[in-house]
Amino acid sequence: MFGIGMPELLLILALALIVLGPKKLPELAKTLGKGLAEFRRATDEIKDEFRQMEHEIDESSTAATPKNDPPLEKTADSSPPTTPPDSTEKK
């Protein structure tokens, strides 16, 4: 966890206990825990929204693939379009 070992963690906790006192330290820890929980909840919601959008995009892209479209059939009366004669030609 952030490269902090057990001795460093104990030193930080001891300093916090000396600076903040035994009355404020539990309140600070509780507030910090609630803040981290709220942050985690918010990031999970954002991740879920991105996953949902990705799923919707995947569904729409698979629905729009040409393999689902019926093949076009040529009819006997269909012929290539004819171009009109050029009106600038002299006769």
What's residue 61's pLDDT?
82
Q: How confident is the model at residue 83 (pLDDT cuts 50, 70, 90)?
A: low
Task: Tell how far CA 34 is from the center of its chain.
Answer: 25
What global pTM score does this model have? 0.48
User: For 4-35, what is each residue's pLDDT tens digit?
Assistant: 888 998 898 899 889 988 889 889 889 999 99
* Total length of the chain: 91
- Under 8 Å between Cβ of 8 and 16: no
- Under 8 Å between Cβ of 17 and 25: yes
